[in-house]
Each structure stands twice: as C-alpha cells, then as structure tokens.
Amino acid sequence: MAATENEPTGPDFAQGIALSQLTDGSSLVGHADGEPVLLVRRGDELFAVGATCTHYGGPLGEGIIDGETVRCPWHHACFSLRTGEALHAPALRPVPRWRVERRGDRVHVTGRHEGVSARAGTNAGRVLSDVAEPESVVIVGAGAAGDAAADMLRREGYTGPVTLVGADPSPPYDRPNLSKDYLAGTAPEEWIPLRDRGYYEEIGVTIVPGARVNAIDTSARRVALSGGETHTFDRLLLATGSDPVRLPLPGGELPHVFYLRSLADSRSIIERLGPARRAVVIGASFIGLEVAASLRTRGLEVHVVAPEERPMERVFGRELARFIQALHESHGVVFHLQQTAASIAPDAVTLQSGEVLPADLVVIGVGVRPNVSLAQEAGIVVDGGVVVDEYLETSVPGIFAAGDIARWPDPHSGAPIRIEHWVVAQRQGQVAARNILGRREPFTTVPFFWSQHYDVPITYVGHAADWDRIDVAGSIDERDCLLAYRHGDQTLAVAGIHRDRDSLLSELALERHDQEALLSLIPRAEAAQSS
Ligand SMILES: Cc1cc2nc3c(=O)[nH]c(=O)nc-3n(C[C@H](O)[C@H](O)[C@H](O)COP(=O)(O)OP(=O)(O)OC[C@H]3O[C@@H](n4cnc5c(N)ncnc54)[C@H](O)[C@@H]3O)c2cc1C
Ligand code: FES
C-alpha cells in the first residue's frame, strides 16, 4: 500500500464552519493552512488533529472515532484526539494537533500546536504500581517489538539506560514492505527504515546493530554478545522474532535460491532480478504469495508450488482461498498445487511428480519458526513459544518477551496463543515496555493483520485457529466483503476486503465481546461455508 500525499479537501476550517455541522461524536475532514485536518466533536469538546495517518498516509476521516481516539481504516493504528499521540501501532509518530475556537455558533481552527512530541506518553512519569523503575533495560532483537518497546520506554518518561541489541546490521525497518512494494519496485528505499536517522540517539537509546546475543545469565542479569561484549540489565525484553523454515532440498544452497526475512534478503532477491525471467516460489504462504505478486509486477513469469489444495485455505477458508488463487491466476501466476519440490538445479526446479519448472530465481516461503533457543538455553519456560503471563513477563521475573516468540494468555479466546503479525509484535513491545516500568497493564489487544495482493488488501481481526462455519456479508468476487469465522454462536475473527470501516467496527466488537454487533455486521447466512 502506498503512502499518499492528501490534497486538502472539504471546508477551510480557518474560515470556520457552523457548529451545527458537527453532531456529538461526528467528525469532518477539512483543511487549515493547506494541511488536512480532522475536526471531531465529543459532547461540548472539539478536537482537531491531522487527518493523515503517520503510518502509510491512511485517511483518518474514513476511520472510526472511539471515545477520545481515532482509528485508521487501513491498518488500525489509533491516535489520541487530545494529544495526537500514536497510541497503538503500526503508526509510530503522532499526528499534529490544531487549536480550535468556538466563536458564537461557529467553529474555527486557528493554528497548529507546536511541540507535539512522539514522547507525549499518557503515563509519562507516572508509576502505577509499587514496582520500582528499572536501573537499566536491555532489549534483544531490534525488529517490530524491540523497536516499539525502546520507543515506548522513553515515551513513558523512563530516563535510565536502554540498550537495543539486534543481530541485523540495519536499524529497525518496515519488514512487511519487504515482500510487497519494496520487492515490487514501487516503494523507494527511504520508506523502509522505521525511524529517521539519529532517532535513537535523540531519545537516548543505545542501539547495537549487527550483534547477536548468545547467552543470558538470568542470575547475574547479564547478556553475552557474539563479539564477546557483555551487558548487564535490571530488566530484559526478548524480541528475537522468527527465522524462515529451511527446506533441506538438493540444490537448496544454490545462489539463485532465496528465503525472505530481512532487508538484506529482499535486496539480494532484487539484485538477482536483472537477467531473471522465470521464478519459482515454493510455498503458498503469505510471504510466498506476496513475493509472487511482486515478481509479477516486475514482469517475471511466476510459478507457485505448494502442497495444499488451495492457497491459504487453512487461514481464510475455502471461498476466500479460491478467490486468492483466482486473483493470482488473473495476474498470470501459475499454481502447482498438491505438489512439492524434489530438487533445485541452477536453471530449474523438479517437482516430486517429475515435472520440471524452468527457474532463474527460486524463493522459498514455507513458514517461519520462532527464535526461542536463547530463552530456552537460559532456563526460561518455552512451550510452543516463550511462555508469558498477561503482562508479557516470562517465567523469570523481570524478563519479558514480545512478538513472534511470545505465547500469551489471550483473554478473547481464553487460550494461550502465539501469533506472527507485525502489529501484534509492535503492540506487545509497547505493552511490555510499560510493564517493564511496573505499570501492570495486561495485554488484551485483539490480533490484527493485513496482507496485500496486487491492488487487493485483505484485513483480518481476531484469531480463529478453527471454526465450524464462515458467514459472508457482501461479495468476495466483487472484492467487497466481510467474512465471519464462527464457532458455535461465537464470532472468533473477521476478514475483509475493501470494508475498512466494518473491519474497525469488528475489531471494536471483538474487544468488547459484543457478539450481537458482530452478528449485525455479518448476519448468519442460511448456508454457511463449513471450512
Ligand atoms: C517479508 C515479510 C512480510 C511480512 N508481512 C506481514 C504483513 O503484511 N502483516 C503482518 O501482520 N505481518 C507480516 N510479517 C510478519 C511480521 O513482520 C512479524 O510478525 C514481525 O516482524 C515480528 O516482530 P518481532 O519483533 O517478533 O520479530 P522481528 O521483526 O523479526 O525482529 C526480530 C529481530 O531480532 C533479531 N534477533 C534474533 N535473534 C537475535 C539474537 N540472539 N540477538 C540479537 N538479535 C536477534 C533478528 O535479527 C530480528 O531483527 C511479514 C514478515 C516478513 C518476513
Ligand atoms: S496507514 Fe494508518 S495504520 Fe497504516
């Protein structure tokens, strides 16, 4: 999804509008000083904030207002209307705040507040429990969760030393983009870093890129780095993410065979594109299919090999899987389903069936495995992920875990879950940071992810490992639909295409356990899909 430069539309708020144009709880997009502004009325109070999401430029006027917050329709970031702060990832920067004045029965936006700070945390300097703030914090893994945690520690007013150690030589970057616009050649390099150059220095976080933590001494409260360096910590956050599952195929180590996890991986694939005409993608995972779409955008011939009957049926069910397959086929992708690769040669992939697919480039996307060995070797309890409590604290007090590795007690399903989503990792990093400071805030977020295939974005809120029916509102083929994944009378998750507002409403309903609202968004059909 591309960032947008929003042309100011709607009324000029500097000229003022009639108060009667804004009913309680309603919002209006206009502009002031040439910038898009969202004006919101809550009771007698009026708020004005920037109307463009600081993540990828989503139109906040098309989102929803919930209390004193606005949620972005594209990837569900949430901003405070009062302070402009980015309360929930994936947005990391605040939106600007504007001054609003009531003059008689008119409302005017009179200028921008200066000094809105990304660190204007709502709890800044406030200690909400009797747990003392730590003397120092070390974060292992500078990805989605690690970056979000380091930032949140400072936003919450923590002034002690924070060290962010990351095995990746690049500072934190927008990993989801690596298989999408960046790989497709439609996102410039400057979109990829999560932060401006110098940001960590500015907020006083010591970042140690290209360094792997090899061991944790939980008694001495010390981590040992690959270069021999050690760092002591008072509290520790583990955010080591996942690595791609490697296929032990003959030829799997050839130079034209790639996995995609890091920026370096994505760059290597792009470098290889020069003379390549034919690509084989092994695995119809999210990453596999996004790679297929990006390589088609680059004009390569793309074949996808996968063992399942339909791509992503296990996540989305039969009908959406059928649509996704047809969508890719309409863009020229050739599927080889219910097939696996047997071997790779420098110019071809041979399938178990004996079929030979010519290939100048092979990308393997068959899933990921969480990096839990560091925790395990340190004696931290690992069971299908690093086990954490509702505050994201592991079995060792003072050591927290977040992101792909964390298995947490999900209050919505009532079961422990581990999830590999960008937004979940960032929000866990943010909540872990607050709990490192003793805030005792349970992690109750409803999981959210998005996936992009050509011009079709798919959003998904909730978590449905299993379901006994799928109800559809709208039309999947018309790319205008909501799908409810249900177990008995419970809606566990909702997927959507081009139903951004309804996806946000579903998220709110799932947060509030409001099954009736979910039923009215997606009524039970007489004949539902069963799988
Ligand atoms: C190409 C791609 C596209 C994706 N697209 C989407 C999407 O569209 N939507 C979505 O929801 N999710 C998407 N994901 C998944 C999402 O990126 C992950 O769920 C998320 O990054 C997990 O965050 P994390 O902080 O747990 O781990 P990561 O972001 O992977 O960060 C972990 C970091 O820890 C480092 N590390 C590991 N071990 C050590 C160690 N011992 N010492 C020091 N550092 C260490 C790693 O180098 C890595 O940089 C995508 C993933 C990929 C690879
Ligand atoms: S554009 Fe707003 S959350 Fe992504």
Q: Which residue has the tokens 């497709």?
A: 184
- 529 pLDDT above the threshold of 80: no
Q: What is the location of CATH 3.30.390.30 in the chain? A: 455-521
Tell me the β-bridge partners of 70. 65, 79
CATH 2.102.10.10 given to domain 17-112: yes
Q: Which three-class secondary structure state does DSSP give residue 334?
A: strand
Tell me the β-bridge partners of 47. 40
For ligand 1, residues with CB inside 6 Å are 140-146, 165-168, 175-176, 178-179, 212-213, 239-242, 260-261, 287, 371, 374, 403-404, 420-423, 425, 449-451
- What is the tens place of the pLDDT at every residue in 14-72? 999 999 999 988 999 999 999 999 999 998 899 999 999 999 999 999 999 999 999 99
126 by Cβ neighbours in 10 Å (0-12 / 13-18 / 19+) ranks as: exposed
DSSP 155-212: HTT--S-EEEEESSSSPSB-GGGGGTHHHHT-S-GGGSBSS-TTHHHHHTEEEEET--
- Centroid of ligand 1 to alpha carbon of 242 (angstroms): 6
Residue 119, pLDDT score:
46
Per mean pLDDT, which range of 100-114, 122-136, 202-216, 324-338 is the poorest? 122-136
Residue 8, pLDDT score:
75
Distance between CA atoms of residues 15 and 34, nearest Å: 12
Residue 524, pLDDT score:
94
- What is the tens place of the pLDDT at every residue in 57-114? 999 999 999 999 999 999 999 999 999 999 999 999 999 999 999 999 999 999 999 8
Entry pTM: 0.94
Considering the chain, what is the average pLDDT of its residues?
94
For ligand 2, residues with CB inside 6 Å are 53, 55-58, 72, 74-75, 77, 90-91
Q: Rounded to an integer, what is the distance from CA 90 to the centroid of its chain?
A: 6
- Centroid of ligand 2 to alpha carbon of 51 (angstroms): 12
> What's the mean pLDDT in 391-420?
97
- What is the tens place of the pLDDT at every residue in 112-156? 998 654 444 444 444 445 567 899 999 999 999 999 999 999 999
- 475 pLDDT above the threshold of 90: yes
Q: Which residue has the tokens 């399903």?
A: 413
Residue nearest to atom 3 of ligand 2 (CA): 75
Q: What is the location of CATH 3.50.50.60 in the chain? A: 137-243+370-436, 257-366
- Under the phi-then-psi rule, with left for phi > 0, alpha for psi from -120 to 50, and beta for the rest, what region is 199? alpha
C-alpha angle with apex 482: 476 to 488, nearest 5 degrees?
Answer: 115
Assign 530 a pLDDT band (cuts: 50, 70, 90).
Answer: low
- Centroid of ligand 2 to alpha carbon of 52 (angstroms): 9
Q: Give the nearest ligand 1 atom to 172 CA.
A: 49
DSSP 246-273: PP--TTTTSTTEEE-SSHHHHHHHHHHH
- CATH of the domain spanning 455-521: 3.30.390.30
> What's the mean pLDDT in 185-210?
94
Residue 135, pLDDT score:
96
Please identify, in words, the CATH class of the domain defined by 257-366.
alpha beta
Tokens of 104: 């008689």
> What's the mean pLDDT in 476-486?
98
- What is the tens place of the pLDDT at every residue in 144-192? 999 999 999 999 999 999 999 999 999 999 999 999 999 999 999 999 9
Tokens of 25: 């709880």
Kind and range of the H or E element at 70? strand 69-71
Per mean pLDDT, which range of 20-24, 276-280, 387-391, 466-470 is the poorest? 20-24
52 secondary structure, DSSP code: B
Residue nearest to atom 4 of ligand 2 (CA): 75
Per mean pLDDT, which range of 107-121, 417-431, 438-452 is the poorest? 107-121
Distance between CA atoms of residues 22 and 13, nearest Å: 12
Residue 525, pLDDT score:
86
- 344 pLDDT above the threshold of 50: yes
Q: Which three-class secondary structure state does DSSP give residue 226?
A: coil
- Centroid of ligand 2 to alpha carbon of 456 (angstroms): 16
8 Å CB contact between 208 and 166? yes
- What is the tens place of the pLDDT at every residue in 348-380? 999 999 999 999 999 999 999 999 999 999 999
CATH 3.50.50.60 given to domain 137-243+370-436: yes
8 Å CB contact between 205 and 194? no
For the beta carbon of residue 355, count every other beta carbon within 10 angstroms.
14
Assign 6 a pLDDT band (cuts: 50, 70, 90).
Answer: low
Residue 25, pLDDT score:
87
8 Å CB contact between 428 and 389? no
Identify the nearest ligand to the CA of 287 by its number: 1
- Centroid of ligand 1 to alpha carbon of 239 (angstroms): 9
